Amino acid sequence: MSKFEFGVYSLGERIPDTNGNIPTAQSRVEEIIQMAKMAEESGLDIFGVGEHHRLDFVTSSYAMLLAAIARETKNIKLTSTLSVISTADPVRVYEDFATLDLLSNGRTEIILGRGAFLESFSLFGESLENYNELFEDKLDLFLKLQEQEVITWQGKFRSPLQDSQIAPRPVQKKLPIWIGVGGTPESAIRAGRLGLNMALGLLSGRPESIKRLTDLYWQAAREAGHDLTKLRISVTGHSYIAQTGEQAINEFVPHYNQYFGYFLKERGQRFHTTAEYLMPQRDAGQILAVGSAEELAEKILYQHELFGHSRFMGQFDMGNQPLARVEKAIDLLATKVAPIVRKALSK
C-alpha cells in the first residue's frame, strides 16, 4: 500500500463573521497562500483549492491561486478541490493544470466533479437539464487530452477538435486524476470503471453508510480489469483539531454555525448547533473530523478499515476560523495525527 497521505484544503469563502465583518478578497487570497506554506512547512503531503464563482468566494480562478502557491512552495502536492468540469472547457482546464505542473515541477493533481453549488451553469451558459451528460462528455475529452498531444475528438456539448495541438504537456507523463464523489452510487461506479482515483466528500453521519459507495468503487474497478493497487480513495471534509477534544469542539462550533447558517439561509433554511450536541461526534464511529489529534487518528483508522482509503484532507479554515488556530490545527495534523495513523498501518 502507498504511504497514507495528509493534507488540507480551502474553498476560499469570505462570509460575515459574528460581528458582520467580511474579510476582503485580497486578505482571503493571502490567507490561502499562507495556509499552503504552513502545510508545507509542517510536512503535510498535499494542499487543495476549490472552485466557486460567487462574490462570497475568492476561488473562481483557482488554478491561478495554485500557481501562486506553486512558486511559494517546493515539495507539497497541489490539487483542485474540485474542478467543475461540467461547465468548463476541458482543453482550457487541461492547459491550466499542465502549466501548473510545469510551475510546480511535477507536483500537480486534479479532482474533477460536478460541485455542490450550481452558479457556474448559468454563468457559463450550460443547462442543468444536461447535468449528467455534460459531465460524461467533458470527462471523456479530458481523459483523451491526457493521452494525445494532437487530438481529433467530437462530443455533444463542445465544438469538435480536428488534429488540434494540446500544449503545454506536463512534467508528469499523466496528471493524477481523482473523481469527486458526494453520495451518488453512479459516481463511485463511474470512477471505478474508468480506473480513476475517488475523492469522497464526507461531512457528517456514520461511515458505515458510506461503505456501500467504496465497495461499489472497488467492485467496478475490479470488474473493469484495473490494477487495484494503483487506485486510491481519499476522504475530505470539515475538520478541526485542538489539544483536547473539548477544546476542538468549543472552538469549532461558532464557525460551523456561521458557515452553514450563512449558506443555508439563502435556501430558506436555518442552521444552529451546540457544543453539547457535537461532543459525541468525536467518537471514532462519526464522520465529522473534529477533536483531539488522538481522536482524529482513531476516526481515520476506523474509516480505513471500512473504505481502504489512503489520503485524508481537512477543511480547517471554514467560517472565518482564525489563521493562528488553523496553523495550530495543521501542525497537529502533521506532527500528531499522521505519525499515529502511519505507525498503526505499518503493522
| 269 falls within a domain | no
Q: Which amino acid appears at position 225 of this protein? A: G
Determine, yes or no, domain membership for 96: yes
Note whether residue 128 is domain-resident: yes
Among the residues of the chain, which ranges form H helices? 25-42, 62-72, 90-103, 119-123, 131-147, 185-194, 211-223, 245-265, 275-278, 293-307, 323-332, 338-346
Q: Is residue 15 assigned to a domain?
A: no
For residue 111, is it within any domain? yes
Domain range spanning residue 137? 82-175
Q: How many domains does the chain have?
A: 1
Q: Is 314 helix (H, G, I), strand (E, B) or coil?
A: strand
- Alpha-carbon span 159 to 172, nearest angstrom: 28
Residue pair 97/79 in contact (Cβ under 8 Å)? The answer is: no
pTM: 0.97
- The pLDDT tens digits along the chain (347 residues) read 579 999 999 999 999 998 999 999 999 999 999 999 999 999 999 999 999 999 999 999 999 999 999 999 999 999 999 999 999 999 999 999 999 999 999 999 999 999 778 899 999 999 999 999 999 999 999 999 999 999 999 999 999 999 999 999 999 999 999 999 998 999 999 999 999 999 999 999 999 999 999 999 999 999 999 999 999 999 999 999 999 999 999 999 999 999 999 999 988 999 999 999 999 999 999 999 999 999 999 999 999 999 999 999 999 999 999 999 999 999 999 999 999 999 999 98
CB neighbours of residue 294 within 10 Å:
14
Q: Is residue 146 part of a domain?
A: yes
